[in-house]
Amino acid sequence: MSKLWGGRFSGGTDALMERFNASFPFDRRLYNEDIQGSIAYAGALERAGVITADEGALLRQGLEMVLAEFREGAFSPQASDEDIHTAVERRLSELIGPLAGKLHTGRSRNDQVATDLRLYLRGNLAERRQDLRRLQAAALALAERHTDVLMPGYTHLQRAQPVRFSHWLLSYFWAWERDISRLDDLQRRANVLPLGSGALAGTPLKLDRHALARELGFEGPCQNSMDGVRDRDFVVEALAWAALVSVHLSQLAEDLVVWSSNEVNFVRVADAYATGSSLMPQKRNPDSLELVRGKAGRIIGDLSGLLTVLKGLPSTYNKDLQEDKEALFDALDTLALAVPIVAGVIETLEVQPERMLAALDAAMLSTDVADYLVGKGIPFREAHALAGRAVQRAEELSCQISQLSLAEWQAISPLFGEDVTELFSWEASVNRRDSYGGTSLRALREQIREARERLMNRDSSEVKADAS
Amino acid sequence: MSKLWGGRFSGGTDALMERFNASFPFDRRLYNEDIQGSIAYAGALERAGVITADEGALLRQGLEMVLAEFREGAFSPQASDEDIHTAVERRLSELIGPLAGKLHTGRSRNDQVATDLRLYLRGNLAERRQDLRRLQAAALALAERHTDVLMPGYTHLQRAQPVRFSHWLLSYFWAWERDISRLDDLQRRANVLPLGSGALAGTPLKLDRHALARELGFEGPCQNSMDGVRDRDFVVEALAWAALVSVHLSQLAEDLVVWSSNEVNFVRVADAYATGSSLMPQKRNPDSLELVRGKAGRIIGDLSGLLTVLKGLPSTYNKDLQEDKEALFDALDTLALAVPIVAGVIETLEVQPERMLAALDAAMLSTDVADYLVGKGIPFREAHALAGRAVQRAEELSCQISQLSLAEWQAISPLFGEDVTELFSWEASVNRRDSYGGTSLRALREQIREARERLMNRDSSEVKADAS
Amino acid sequence: MSKLWGGRFSGGTDALMERFNASFPFDRRLYNEDIQGSIAYAGALERAGVITADEGALLRQGLEMVLAEFREGAFSPQASDEDIHTAVERRLSELIGPLAGKLHTGRSRNDQVATDLRLYLRGNLAERRQDLRRLQAAALALAERHTDVLMPGYTHLQRAQPVRFSHWLLSYFWAWERDISRLDDLQRRANVLPLGSGALAGTPLKLDRHALARELGFEGPCQNSMDGVRDRDFVVEALAWAALVSVHLSQLAEDLVVWSSNEVNFVRVADAYATGSSLMPQKRNPDSLELVRGKAGRIIGDLSGLLTVLKGLPSTYNKDLQEDKEALFDALDTLALAVPIVAGVIETLEVQPERMLAALDAAMLSTDVADYLVGKGIPFREAHALAGRAVQRAEELSCQISQLSLAEWQAISPLFGEDVTELFSWEASVNRRDSYGGTSLRALREQIREARERLMNRDSSEVKADAS
Amino acid sequence: MSKLWGGRFSGGTDALMERFNASFPFDRRLYNEDIQGSIAYAGALERAGVITADEGALLRQGLEMVLAEFREGAFSPQASDEDIHTAVERRLSELIGPLAGKLHTGRSRNDQVATDLRLYLRGNLAERRQDLRRLQAAALALAERHTDVLMPGYTHLQRAQPVRFSHWLLSYFWAWERDISRLDDLQRRANVLPLGSGALAGTPLKLDRHALARELGFEGPCQNSMDGVRDRDFVVEALAWAALVSVHLSQLAEDLVVWSSNEVNFVRVADAYATGSSLMPQKRNPDSLELVRGKAGRIIGDLSGLLTVLKGLPSTYNKDLQEDKEALFDALDTLALAVPIVAGVIETLEVQPERMLAALDAAMLSTDVADYLVGKGIPFREAHALAGRAVQRAEELSCQISQLSLAEWQAISPLFGEDVTELFSWEASVNRRDSYGGTSLRALREQIREARERLMNRDSSEVKADAS
């Protein structure tokens, strides 16, 4: 036996075309999903009266044997195995004879591959979700250990206002929380059964698609067979999700690469995540983080590539859709490395509080100076201008703004009193940002509590969800 | 008054740089959101004791006046209006004097612009949702009118199996249903208040951010101020959503462009959505649909552009983020035209049932021939090969497969009986695909009922949601 | 021996990080370029007095042995082989001992990998160029065989004016000619030697980089070492080139997919490039062309991914650059299959002239009708409107425009005479488009002659170019 | 008069469709090219005998009047002006009557718009080229002023080896040189005339397309009319060019943003290119550079969007092609601001040599230490390891590597002598990198000379080229 479709063909296939057409080299990783789907389908065929109970049992037994061969690395591919479906059916027929030929009744590779890929995505995303949870836990643990550490907060990579290191770190926690929220939405939407759509028009068998869906853990069957074989929304959605995850990681990586530089030196990436130079003996490069940053480009390319493939395709199945798999696998594989690596980087990160403290300079408190004037009744906009003048004056005098004399202050505005010096406390400034979501110690602790609850509650409620 | 930040600067700004930096030409459309946000913020300042009740009233009154000027097209921009926030504050100060300078207390353009953009997106997406509902309604109405129309179903743009025209059309209904589901998820996630994040570290005022969130219709305040000013997930998610909507439209457009071609001629696009040629008098081009198809490329470009902007940015606000707006506006504006246009094309589409019927050929029933043999106990794989041989035989004889003599059939397999001719009924073949989601009349009616319920139920439950 | 850089490191590397970091799985294909580069570099070291002639000979001999192992599939990788450079040096040291450690003097993997990749690209593009030439030759041969075949020319996928089939086919010849022109420009620009740039600052050895460049077939050394280790323009340019090639192929594929449809049926793709359906025995799907069409998305994704990787990178070498290779290999590998496949499709394409002729309808000559009126002195714009009215009249009468009676013509304009019927000759209409680049037989023959010359002349002048 | 194509249409156009279809709002900027093309075409019609000399003169005169109206801002658009071609012809007919209707004889908007866009691109790119030359000149001038300034060179954003500031700066000179080289190649390839292709099949008039090409400054007419109306390679090539230019700018911007940070402080961006904060009075943000960095994302989006539009389009003109213009204009407009802004930033950049010097640390010379051992006969690989140990030892002792005692050195290797201390001179280290393209003073001067020649020679030889 060879191809699943040779009946009406007379000419052979071009050898290069065989290679171009073959998806087995990359879709073979769907073997488990393909076979689980076939086992369930055999049951459905039996219930529909298409095969007998004995035939059903034999099919299932044969399929389990093929599955075992794959699992044990004992499966031996043939040149004719153009895809995983062909390969499995070919091997099944070798094992149990012509009965294997009944398995495809009413089924097409169009609905089969869509089912396989959804099953695969479901399982894979459940793992990616756990990785993200571990990442959040790593960040939260580090944040909890360093609530007292102050550092410069930046906008435009310029020193802006002092913040807590933990506050910075948790800013990523919430980005990952959104990533998980998106993942859950996507899982729900992807978890729909195409099987029973046939090639495009539905199945002529008396299949109970709702039962088949339940058996395979889907929320239900798709509502329209033509949509069922065309729909690749779930792949696009997964790639868009992955792209955004990778962008978040790239931003954290950028922060840490800059902060690992000799000039900044706020953190030190552990040896386990750094590499050296073949030429320069002193080098310790944060390669892990640079790779993470670069991978965002790769995944964005996967996404924009697949969208381009789908754009303007005519209805139902077209062979172009075969391009969905490598892009998806690439993005998921990339995240399967990148997320744990970032978690590892965080778990082993050496924080340098004294360097962070040393990088605070008094000009970062000029907003507090303006706020001081606001407290004296000056409109903020005017207060802002006066505080700006103080910064300029300090630059002229080559001193810190905190070192201006009272006379200097009063030359700027008579409203400045002796208490202006009290403004120049990092701790006090940070703790003034005390509303919900701010960087004060109180607000940070509230934030940590919420984050901790998110990890705890979700994790219990997720047991069920992840089991699906 | 000019810039909001000039205090410490001595040199002037380069003229080209002013143009490069200015966002007013495109963010002026946020005037309503910016002013509504400021009105709510004035109330919060009042409750926080930063301004008096009288000051609050005056600020609100002034803001309403500025809003009215924008609404009536009477707002007169100045060269110094670098963005909508600056423009509004500048005008406000002209109208009510230095008190205007109190409005920005504790607020930064960083949290302000993020708030404006989320408000804008929320309102805009509610409109896009209605457009999609109208589109679904148009498709459903056309599907209901044509349940009896049969046509060739295609895979690989090759005739595959007969289907109902309405079944094809509804395959898009469910794609749009997913688009709406994604929109709802995205709305929920985007509907979070950044205001109160200040520049990055939070606000030093006693602001009740939860109350402020409620007042502006948000689900709650963001949990981390540094995340609040950086987060553009909602823009990316909106663009990814828009890209997928546009891909769906491009696929429908492709179907209709091909079907409008002289060779196929299954449908005729109304004059209202077609154009002619400046050179060739006979031309009637489906320009509307070609443009819709092309727009998918444009929106995919918007998405991949913004992801690239965000990749590798350091924490909190960087000016690169200014690139978020034009991409978002472009995608939303494009859909605001494309979706109603496709709805209009569908509402006015001339369906040509007799052309569709004429395009059915007997070979499309060869799966039914294989199924016939399966009914006689032949494994499907073998039946498939035999049916393939029948197709080949018919080609050799230059006849339709339905015209093969019984002798021919029996030469292929003795299992063929006289009843083989009964297979060649389009109606019977279509109605055999009778499982859930199939193309039989019964299954189609079930599908229409479900679609109708989706439109009805949702629409009532959505009243509340859309009101937010 | 293991890593090239361990000296100052105390902690080990994380196991996942090893996998994440390793490029050997994909850069091993550079073995030939890496070793050729090292052989040349050994010579340069010798001439610079860094090693003796004996050492140079031994190094070269060892390198040849490693090369032979790779060629024969006998190279046995170790876990510590993080990249091809490490792997080669490791093996070399096993074969010839500590002398191997002299090879890296003054060299960094930064300049080494850039050199390898340029060598690889140069060789690979020379092959891609030959593929494109074969593709052009196939199209030209088919065009020459069918100069007499007329068919509808389309704009907007609507019948526009009759054209020669060969004219259509050659429209791609010139697109590929531009592809080749771009390839040649890119080759020239890419053919520059980075070696001698060291890690970033240049080499402290007395290397004659011009001589080294000549020896490796480069036009010259790069002018700036920091540019030399950062520059990936050649990869971007190659991907942009590949993307445009793939877009051209996707357009041809679209034409042929539509024309292979049962409704149009202008061409028949050979069995060698078609596949069947696992479910529907009658199917003959042009999978080859659909895959070609889909691959354009993939390559566009490669391009946009790499651009994103490069955007915003700081100067000189960053590990993100490692992402350049897989994207490049993927695009080149894809074209290495797609271009020959399209050539094969063309070489075996079955053209159906009678179907094409049957698809011509008289309305396609309405521009000729307008031109007729222009000949009588009517301004074209008015003539266009009158011809449009004739089309409309024919539609009302359900006849072809060529079947209108003289009375009908004259009701539209009294300028129509009996000779209007002479317009309705396909051959005459086509031959009227007789200017340079038009579809008349004369112009087509001129075009074929130019195309033939392009293939001939270039091919002789290219001998030298390709040898570089 | 209204549309150019209404003759056969009965229904009106949908109002939304009018807006969706209209390109006048963005293609009106092609007015000069459109009218110049028409003036040349009128001449060609005259030479072809289609119109008389008097008619030709009148047409040209009328076109000049329309042109003047556009130039003076006096052109008054009508609702029916769907594109620039329609608008011009409409106005022309108002000015000179029905004769205007003769201008379109044998011409289609398909070949007309392609001609307009090529003319526009040619002129615009000539300006972009001058901008790039100014940018190179600015960098070269700054480099020439600072040949003595030493600074840390980085790889992986970690200090690597000392380099000259000017060497770093010139690394961009050569990237822009490649950008200019690509621009020249693209200009040559784009400079081909589509006019005379008609709608797709060529022109029935006796047009001398070679003469017409010469008159409009094109290298020649396109060889195939169907290619002529489809080909958008020149737009893609321009966008790919622009994307790479923008990536180069984004990399320079990243360097300068990091170096402007308070921690690094190597350079100071002039006030003219910085902005402040609405909240934080002390801020001076390098917005210009952040915007430049962000714009790369935008242009990459333009490129990937257009490639997606083109992918899979059927032959000749499809309305999707209308999407080419806005992407092209957006990319060119963006560069027209970004390149001069970066030139301005460089021209006004304040370099801080003492900060750069202070950032050099002795470990950056550890490659020189290894080279020292190589000079004593140790293979580089072993020398690298020993130098790495010295770095490690200095870290243990919390001292600089240059402060190790001779005893410490000799504990690492007895080959170290007293002269090891001589290694620790920045100037000497830098000047050791003396090969072509290295960072020594001699090599730098050679590089500057070459760069200067490039600017001089090219600029004379370019006079002719740019005049085209």
CA C376 to centroid of chain Cα atoms: 49
ipTM of the complex model: 0.96
Nearest by CB to D437, which of C103, C110, C225? C225
- Give me the catalytic one of C181, C277, C461, C468: C277
D139 inside 8 A of chain C by CB: no
- Residues of B identified as active-site: 156, 277
Residue A462 pLDDT class (50, 70, 90 cuts): low
B461 by Cβ neighbours in 10 Å (0-12 / 13-18 / 19+) ranks as: exposed
Q: What is the pLDDT of residue B459?
A: 57
Q: Which residues of A touch C300 (CB under 8 A)?
A: 304-305, 308
Percent of chain D with pLDDT over 70: 97
By CA distance, what is A83's nearest residue in C? C278
Q: How far is CA A48 from the centre of its chain?
A: 41
Mean pLDDT computed over C311-321: 98
- Residue A463 forms contact with D (CB below 8 Å): no
Residues 64 to 103 of C: which have CB under 8 A from any D CB? 89, 93, 98-103
- Residue-level pLDDT at D375: 93
Q: Residue D315 pLDDT more than 60?
A: yes
Tell me if chain B has a CB within 8 Å of the CB of D8.
Answer: yes
Chain D residues whose beta carbon lies within 8 Å of the beta carbon of residue A369: 281
pLDDT category of residue A14 using cuts at 50, 70 and 90: confident
pLDDT at D463 over 80: no
The residue among A254, A282, A364 with the most chain D CBs within 10 A of its CB, best to mutate, is A282
Kind of pairing between the strands at C350-351 and C267-268? antiparallel
**Average pLDDT over every residue of D92-108:** 96
Give the chain D residue nearest A369 (alpha carbons).
D281
Closest-approach residue (CA) in chain A for C272: A13
Question: Is the minimum CB–CB distance between C8 and chain A shorter than 8 Å?
Answer: yes
Helix (H, G, I), strand (E, B) or coil at C105: coil
Tell me, yes or no, if C387 comes closer than 8 A to chain B by beta carbon. Answer: yes
- Shortest distance, CA C12 to any CA of chain A (angstroms): 5
- A contact chains, 3+ CB pairs < 8 A: B, C, D
| Neighbors of chain B by Cβ distance (3+ pairs < 8 Å) | A, C, D
In one-letter notation, the amino acid at residue C98 is P
Residues 6+ apart with CB under 8 A from A448: A140, A143, A144, A147, A166, A170
Closest partner residue to A156 (CB to CB) among D157, D264, D290 is D290
Strands (E), C190-294: 192-193, 220-221, 267-268
Q: Give per-residue burial for D4-19: e unless 16+ CB within 10 Å, then b.
A: bbbbbbeeebbebbee
Q: What is the pLDDT of residues C18-74, one digit of tens each?
A: 999 999 999 999 999 999 999 999 999 999 999 999 999 999 999 999 999 999 999
% of chain B residues with pLDDT over 90: 93
Mean pLDDT of chain D: 95
Q: Does C264 touch chain D (CB under 8 A)?
A: no
Q: What is the pLDDT of residue B467?
A: 42
Distance of CA C107 to the CA centre of its chain: 33
Please provide the average confidence, as pLDDT, over all residues in chain A. 95
Distance from CA of D290 to the nearest CA of C (A): 10
Structure tokens at D339: 């390149």
Tell me the count of A-C CB pairs closer than 8 A: 239
pTM value is 0.97
Return the amino acid letter for D125: L
Chain A residues within 8 A of D364 when measuring between CB atoms: 282
Q: CB–CB of B319 and D294 under 8 A?
A: yes
Q: Does C52 touch chain B (CB under 8 A)?
A: no
Whether D110 contacts D322, CB under 8 Å: no
Phi and psi for C30 in degrees, rounded to 5?
Answer: -85, 10
Chain D residue with Cα closest to A383 = D281
Pairwise CB contact (< 8 Å): C384 & B278: yes
Residues with Cβ < 8 Å from B72, sequence gap 6 or more? none
Amino acid A448: pLDDT: 98
Q: Note whether D309 contacts B: Cβ–Cβ < 8 A.
A: yes
Distance CA B233, CA B228 (A): 11
With beta carbons less than 8 A apart as the criterion, state whether D47 and B364 touch. Answer: no
Distance from CA of B70 to the nearest CA of D (A): 23
Percentage of chain D lying above the pLDDT 90 cut: 93
- CB contact at 8 A, C302 and C324: no
pLDDT-derived band at B288, boundaries 50, 70, 90: very high
**What percent of chain C shows pLDDT beyond 70?**
97
Q: Is the Cβ of B124 closer than 8 Å to some Cβ of chain D?
A: no
Q: CA nearest B4 in D: which residue?
A: D278
- What is residue A13's DSSP assignment? -
| pLDDT digits 0-9 by tens, D381-432 | 999 999 999 999 999 999 999 999 999 999 999 999 999 999 999 999 999 9
pLDDT computed for residue D11 by the predictor: 72
Q: Does D280 touch chain A (CB under 8 A)?
A: yes
What gap in Å lies between CA D384 and CA D363, rounded to an integer?
13
Q: What is the mean pLDDT of chain B?
A: 95
Nearest to D279 among B199, B272, B274 (CB): B199
* The length of chain B, given as a count of residues: 468
Instruction: Give residues with Cβ within 8 angstroms of B172, minimum separation 6.
Output: A227, B139, B248, B251, B252
C12 contacts on A by Cβ (under 8 Å): 271-272
C318 touching B, CB under 8 A?
no
Going by their DSSP bridges, the two strands D267-268 and D220-221 should be labelled as unpaired
Tokens of A329: 């696998």
Confidence category of residue D466, pLDDT binned at 50, 70, 90: very low
Using one digit for the tens of pLDDT, what is the confidence trace for C439-449? 999 999 999 99
Query: Using a CB-CB distance cutoff of 8 angstroms, which residues of chain A are in contact with residue B158?
Result: none
Question: Do residue C224 and residue D104 have CB atoms under 8 angstroms apart?
Answer: no
Inter-chain CB proximity C298 and A288 less than 8 Å: no
Q: What is the pLDDT of residues B133-172, one digit of tens each?
A: 999 999 999 999 999 999 999 999 999 999 999 999 999 9
Tally A–B CB contacts below 8 A. 422
The confidence score (pLDDT) of residue B209 equals 98
Asked if D443's CB is within 8 angstroms of C202's CB, the reply is yes
C462, pLDDT greater than 60: no
**Considering CB atoms only, which of A7, A281, A322 is closest to C8?**
A281
What pLDDT digit, counting tens, does each position of A227-270 carry? 999 999 999 999 999 999 999 999 999 999 999 999 999 999 99
pLDDT at position A71 over 90: yes
Do the chains contact at D7 and C251, CB–CB below 8 Å?
no
Do the Cβ atoms of C281 and B385 come within 8 Å? yes
Spatial separation of the C-alpha atoms in residues C200 and D438, rounded to whole Å: 9
Task: Say if residue A465's pLDDT is above 70.
Answer: no
CA end-to-end distance (rounded Å), chain C = 37
Q: What is the 3-state secondary structure (H, E, C) of chain B?
A: CCCCCHHHCCCCCCHHHHHHHCCHHHHHHHHHHHHHHHHHHHHHHHHCCCCCHHHHHHHHHHHHHHHHHHHCCCCCCCCCCCCHHHHHHHHHHHHHHHHHHHCCCCCCHHHHHHHHHHHHHHHHHHHHHHHHHHHHHHHHHHHHHCCCCEEEEEECCEEEEEEEHHHHHHHHHHHHHHHHHHHHHHHHHHCEECCCCCCCCCCCCCCCHHHHHHHCCCCEECCCHHHHHHCCHHHHHHHHHHHHHHHHHHHHHHHHHHHHCCCCCCEECCHHHCECCCCCCCCCECHHHHHHHHHHHHHHHHHHHHHHHHCCCCCCCCHHHHHHHHHHHHHHHHHHHHHHHHHHHHHCCEECHHHHHHCCCHHHHHHHHHHHHHHCCCCHHHHHHHHHHHHHHHHHCCCCHHHCCHHHHHHHCCCCCHHHHHHCCHHHHHHHCCCCCCCCHHHHHHHHHHHHHHHHHHHHHHHHHHHC
Q: What is the pLDDT of residue D462?
A: 54
**The pLDDT value given to residue C458:** 63
For chain B, the maximum distance between any two Cα atoms, rounded to a whole number of angstroms, is 100
Domains, chain D, ranges and CATH?
Answer: 13-105 (1.10.275.10), 115-150+163-205+224-358+448-467 (1.20.200.10), 362-432 (1.10.40.30)
**pLDDT per position as a tens digit, C134-178:** 999 999 999 999 999 999 999 999 999 999 999 999 999 999 999
Please write the tens of the pLDDT for every residue from B250-268.
Answer: 999 999 999 999 999 999 9
A308 touches chain D (CB under 8 A): yes
Q: How confident is the model at residue D468 (pLDDT cuts 50, 70, 90)?
A: very low
CB-CB under 8 Å, D385 with A281: yes
